[in-house]
Amino acid sequence: MKYTGATTQLSLVFATILLTTGIRRLLYNYLLRIPPVTDDVAYDHLLSTSLIAFSAGLVSIFLVNLAGIRAIFVFYVLTNILSAASAVTTYTLGKSAFHKIAMYITTIGYDLDRAATLVVVLAYPGERWKARVLAIFLLIEYFAITLGDIIALVDPGSAQSRFRGAIAFLCLSCLALVPALAIAPSENVVRSDGVYLVSPKTTVLTELRQTAKMFTNKYMLLLLPYMFSYPLLFGSAEVNFPNVTAIILYDGGKMFIVFMSQMLDVQWAGRRTRSYVGMATLVVFFVVSISITAALRIIDYDLTGLDVSWPRPQIEAFVMGAVMNQRYAMLMTSYFFAGAASSFIELFGYWVMGTLTNDFKSTARFVGTYHSAMALGGLLGYQLTNNTEHAAYTTNIPMYVAIALTIVSFVCLYFILRRISETNDWTLERISNRGSDTQPTSQASMETITVISDVKYEHHKETTA
């Protein structure tokens, strides 16, 4: 494999994510949910994290293009090292102040890194591999979260074992600097089909101008409701996990993106047809998930013994206990379909972006906007129901609004799917690159690379032998 080849570069990104996000997600609950101090040092304030994610998404619209992906990955690794060091400090000194500060910084690094990772995953693979490569990277996080939750709930361990885990976390985080520093600039990368990435130099003024122009693109405007609506629904529903089984089923449902990625990438039909089938599958899972969730919330449960004067957490725990005792199978099924629907929506949304353009910088603008819209939706959904009694167990107006908006977003998305073709050729410019020193494959010979109108290249179409 060539160093500048897409496969090599994706492998380096994969190794970096595995040693940072993967390990941190795996050990986070285990190390920090049960600290050897009196106060809870876990950073789980949804308002703060959502605001940081939203802000980082906005910044990533410009920063991925201006600073480059290697700088962002290295920055994230350094913030991850800081997080690991703060965990070690917490166990060594018994003080959590350093950890709380470190987690704010790490959250910024993580959200910037996630945007950069998604840009790479969408821009580097050929059209026939985008969904599958995207699924692989999403599964790293899904698997790590699932295993981490199970470890924390089943075997919390002793303070000494968690301290050793923090040391291992720190060592692995330091090791992640090696692949992060080896990541090549995007303009040097050659895709597997022999096409160089389109990644011209840019300036702050250019990024501001092109980002503003992007929001006049009707396809971007049609994507915005889709980006925003499901996180709004998830936040307003206030999903709680009562036991390990619920977590396993929820995260297990997310593993079905492997099925979705195969459906979208394997050439069993034209790309537009595959997109229609993918959307139909998504809608089915969404409808089933919402139907079960709504049914659970309108059922009258036997709440004998409930005292309304109890604190809210105690009341919610009592109600959840009643739901589990009286509708356990239905409740567990809802977690599976909720996990599958949420992962399908995320994968499908990013895959559709991958059908819009192969231009690296335009992809960064799309991904940054998507990331911000998702964070904003989750933030508003949570805040609108934060003070609502029993929001996690009853229907509420924000939840109804979010369901309606999600349905509208599917209609908007349909108008984008109608424009999908076998190659990314619906934007204003159509090009293929003749500068490759790699022999074109049958896929490369038919593939057209697109850019946004501010970048113009000579159009050249190669033919197969």
Q: What is the pLDDT of residue 458?
A: 30
Q: What is the pLDDT of residue 7?
A: 87
**With a cut of 70, which residues of the chain have pLDDT below it?**
1, 28-46, 152-157, 192-200, 386-395, 423-465
How many of the other CB atoms lie within 10 Å of CB of 441? 14
Q: What is the pLDDT of residue 443?
A: 36
Q: What is the pLDDT of residue 87?
A: 82
Q: Which of 214, 206, 209, 197 is nearest to 365 (CA)?
A: 214
**Is beta strand 449-451 parallel, antiparallel or unpaired with respect to 429-431?**
antiparallel
Q: What is the pLDDT of residue 37?
A: 37
The CA–CA distances, whole Å, from 336 to 164, 249, 250, 340, 434 equal 34, 5, 5, 6, 47
Give 245-294 pLDDT, tens digit per residue: 888 888 888 888 889 999 999 888 888 999 999 999 999 999 999 898 88
d(CA 365, CA 126) in angstroms, rounded, equals 20
* Helix/strand/coil percentages in the chain, nearest 5: 70, 0, 30
Q: Which of 235, 200, 318, 247 is nearest to 47 (CA)?
A: 235
Q: What is the pLDDT of residue 411?
A: 93
Query: What mean pLDDT, rounded, does the chain reach?
Result: 77
Q: Return the structure tokens found at 450.
A: 């697109």
Q: How far apart are the first and last CA of the chain?
A: 24
Q: Return the structure tokens found at 29.
A: 């609950």
d(CA 401, CA 399) in angstroms, rounded, equals 5
d(CA 174, CA 198) in angstroms, rounded, equals 32
> Which three-class secondary structure state does DSSP give residue 5?
strand
The size of the chain, in residues, is: 465
Q: Return the structure tokens found at 309.
A: 């004067």
